[in-house]
Structure formats: C-alpha cells, structure tokens
Amino acid sequence: MSIQGIIEGKKQWRAHVARVKALPPDYQIVYKEMQKYLFKVGPVSLSDGPLLPGIVDFFEEGVATGKGVLELIGTDVAAFCDDLIKDTPTYADAYQEAIGGEPGAARK
C-alpha cells in the first residue's frame, strides 16, 4: 500500500469514527460491542469492507426514525453480528480449517 493510500485510509477511518461519535450514547455502546466482536471473529475483509460503515448507516436510520438500538438489532449482539457475516469467510473459519475442523463451525 502506498503512503497516499495509508493517508486516505486514515481519513476515511477518522470520518467513520466521527459518525459513530455523533450517534446517541446507547447506539455508541452497542456499536463498540459489535466492533469488538467483529474484530475478534469477523470477516477477513472487515477493515476495508462495507460492513462497519453499513452498520453506522443502519444505526443513523434508526436514530432518524426514533427507534432504540435494541429495537433494531434485538438483545443478542453476537447473534445479530453472526447473521450479518454468515456468508462471509472469517478469521474463525480460517482457524477452524487450519486445525482440520469444519468451516463455519466456530460460529455455530
């Protein structure tokens, strides 16, 4: 990756973080929990894919309609995240394959 690409990536990440900080506190808490979970078991393409910005888009729409964050995603954050990434190769899948397990078994 070039220096210009790194700089652009940092600008995009800062803009993303600013959008998260503009959300109501309950949305921010849930987003951070989702982010932690997804960085732990999430898709290999998480850092440069559309998933995290898509979650912020979804949350911004929820705020605009006056819904609480748990009305949008339910009470099980991990299950919601698993549903989002169900058809995407994850680090957990790669690990399972490396040790001879069934792909996707880590999320079942």
Dig out the tokens for 96 from the structure.
């399972």
Angle 57-38-66 from CA coordinates, rounded to 5°: 30
* 93 inside domain: yes
Range of the domain at 47: 3-100
Does 64 have pLDDT greater than 60?
yes
Q: For the whole prediction, is pTM greater than 0.85?
A: no
* 11 inside domain: yes
pLDDT (0 to 100) of residue 40:
86
Does 75 have pLDDT greater than 90?
yes
CATH number at residue 51: 1.10.1900.10
9 within 8 A of 2, measured Cβ to Cβ: no
pLDDT (0 to 100) of residue 62:
97
* 32 inside domain: yes
Instruction: Report the pLDDT averaged over residues 95-104.
Output: 75
Instruction: Report the pLDDT averaged over residues 67-88.
Output: 92
pLDDT (0 to 100) of residue 33:
95
pLDDT band at residue 39 under the 50/70/90 scheme: confident
* 31 inside domain: yes
* 107 inside domain: no
* 70 inside domain: yes
pLDDT band at residue 94 under the 50/70/90 scheme: confident
Domain count across the chain:
1
